[in-house]
Structure 1
């Protein structure tokens, strides 16, 4: 039975002295009834200069005179009797040590979340960047392709299962084939309508994108699958390093190599014949990469923020009531996200066939 004024929570403990695995042990705690127990924001991030304090304004003389104590001092009112203390009041904790927001990366490392700590430090020490539309290009210095590796994401069974679903099923769906056709159609149309060339040969989208991962994603990405934070929890339903690093993220598929065979022909179906180009495409390789936006923003019109645990300088605990409330308020796997930030490319063999037509507006 739970003690009155106590709430249950789960705290991580090492499974063994030589093990890095953690088990989540249930315990109870009493919420602090202390206004000083809060997360501070006093420390300045690296490279940030605080604004100068506002100039002091001297009070008018009339206000000073009004604030003076009267010559005749009135007796102090009688003090009210102190309320009787209960045993529960005696158990109140003292004010905990100060915990500043910039202490969070150190706490993440103590939890074993080393990748999350790196990303958090970069975010705290980085410059301001306002996210626009999901299709907007990010500044180059806001794209990180080194901190998170594909191998890191595949350490977690839920993420690995989603990647297998993407490459074994997702890339062969009707929607994926339709998106592939549009990607190839744009390339062939540009060659045919711009240079009057019915392109035949192999294309290397990475070279065509000049090694720009954002351009590759915009021009040749054709399928994705979402990995939610609930799918990267450990066997005890506790958060892992990838949960703390990325939360919800996406695996993406883009064209890595394709063979195109095109032929010109006349279309006589209309009033006047039209000079056209028909192409057959074989996609032989694809890129698979993870993509995520490292940002902290509540949904517009939302009633609460996403619950990310209760933290102090030593780590974190999870309160089930807060987890349930977050699930109800924000929805399971329905939180908004944009596709920019962490990018990890790799190659995966794949053979897909399609045909696409490019028709010139030129009337002959």
Structure 2
């Protein structure tokens, strides 16, 4: 029997001087790939799923008929074995061990594994997906979707990686871009126009503060967001290792929305118009904005023939083939390149074999890490590959699995320097004022 070649894998471990780090296990400490007809289990009932009805007991005649059918097939099998002698077993290849059965892993064990890895928010979000009714995200960013706006908070996200830096960039510079200023002017003008033309007061208070009305955060987002900032998975890492935030959201977007606006105005009449008009020239001062994050929690693949790899999992945790544990980290970079951040926060490329099991792609095999010298296929040592398609297959079987939008509740932040914008002249008919005749 050929000796199977072990392959390297990575785990997240602790370092005395560097905290959480990626640890490479290679050579004799590597993992053994497994060839098996067994698959990840989808058999456990989903939360709230009704068990199937018990099988009906066969009648005496049905039992007799079934036994006769079984005896018939046994006789046919014996005759076939005599005519076609059993072939000798095929030699084992050197890239994987052959096993008919290995320790089972049910996909619903992933949230428990996340808890053990110190990712409680990721575990909470994952359980929510399993619990909800079947729903596939339709890839429309502002479309109506189920949503969760309580589990993830902006303050929690700011604890990780460079998220605070990205928020500072959004608040200090990005919301003052030409495009953002044009959007602020448009949204404020629209609101002020509606207020001014909808009252008969000669001196209406046109300042306003926005809010999420009737918990409709989606509509708030559509009405008032003015700028966004992409936060990629690199920004969520802790010394290049995955965090609870990385596991929960991966890439996500920070948003800024209009919060409080002060309006100063000059009033005048236009008597040369028929009918005469009562008008204002006004200046808007944006003093506060709301900040929040938004992302979709779904398992859609851009390329259905190449489903996104989500790591190798068991009930205890995860190992991975990539140092940064996700396909999207590669992007358009060659698979043979290692990507890491240097002290200048730039991507640095170094020629190494950054894949495991094969170069350029994952393989759909479980692995045995063999951490115990004299025991194979120990439950804690066997890890199963999980892909986006794995979740979609589970959803198809159980009619559960709800993709949804994640929002953090908008938090009001005062701008150090208000944004001042001159609005267009706004007029209404003279007779609609309280002093008109």
1:124 lines up with 2:122 in the alignment? no
The answer (yes or no) to whether the contact 2:298–2:404 under 8 Å persists in 1 is no
Q: Give the secondary structure class of the aligned counterpart of 1:40.
A: coil
Structure 2 CA distance, aligned partners of 1:304 and 1:87? 25
**Deviation (angstroms), 1:185:** 1.6
Partner SS, residue 353 of structure 1:
strand
Match of 1:104 among 107, 110, 113: 110
Within 5 Å, which residues of 2 pair with 1:231-242?
231-235=235-239, 237-242=240-245
- Deviation per residue, 1:210-239 (Å, 9 max, x gap): 66433332222111101111221221x221
Aligned partner of residue 102 in structure 1, secondary structure = helix
Residues 268 and 231 of structure 1: CA distance in aligned 2, closer, same or farther (over 3 Å): farther
Matched, 1:313 2:321: no
**Alpha-carbon contact 1:276-1:357 (below 8 Å) kept:** no
Instruction: Measure the CA separation in 2 of the matches of 1:45 and 1:339.
Output: 18
**Normalising by structure 1, what TM-score?**
0.77
Structure 1 residues 95, 187: CA separation in 2 closer, same or farther (over 3 Å shift)? Answer: same
Determine the C-alpha separation between the residues in 2 that align with 1:310 and 1:44. 22
Counterpart selection for 2:24 from 23, 26, 30: 26
Unaligned runs of 5+ residues in structure 2 are: 57-61, 335-402, 432-437
Q: What's 2:420 paired with?
A: 353
1:7 equivalent to 2:11? Answer: no
Partner of 2:189: 185
TM-score normalised according to structure 2 size: 0.66
Per-residue CA distance 1:48-78 (angstroms, 9 max, x = gap): 23677999xx9xx9xx79x7657x9573433
Q: Deviations over 1:216-267 (max 9, x none)?
A: 32222111101111221221x2211100011111111112211012445567
Instruction: Tell me, yes or no, if the aligned pair for 1:188 and 1:358 is still in contact at 8 Å.
Output: no
Structure 1: where are the runs of 5+ without partners? Answer: 333-337
For residues 321 and 24 of structure 1, what CA distance do their matches in structure 2 show? 7
Contact 2:44/2:106 (<8 A) preserved: yes
Aligned Cα root-mean-square deviation (Å): 4.1
Pair 1:168-2:172 in alignment: yes
Q: Is the 8 A contact 2:118 2:244 kept in 1?
A: yes
Matched, 1:81 2:96: no
State the shift of 1:93 in Å.
6.7
Is contact 1:259-1:284 (8 Å) kept? yes
Cα distance in 2 between the residues matched to 1:268 and 1:166: 45
Residue range with higher mean Cα deviation, 343-352 or 99-108: 343-352
Q: Provide, for residues 183-218 of structure 1, a one-character-per-residue CA deviation record: whole Å limited to 9, x for no partner.
A: 2122112123444667434312127x4664333322
Secondary structure of the corresponding residue to residue 156 of structure 2 = helix
Deviates more, 1:7-16 or 1:281-290: 7-16
Q: Is the 8 A contact 2:9 2:319 kept in 1?
A: yes
Using CA pairs below 8 Å that are at least 6 residues apart, which structure has the higher relative contact order?
2
Equivalent residue of 1:309, what SS? strand
Identify if the C-alpha distance between structure 1 residues 119 and 41 changes in structure 2 by more than 3 Å, giving closer, same or farther.
Answer: same
Aligned equivalent of 1:298: 301
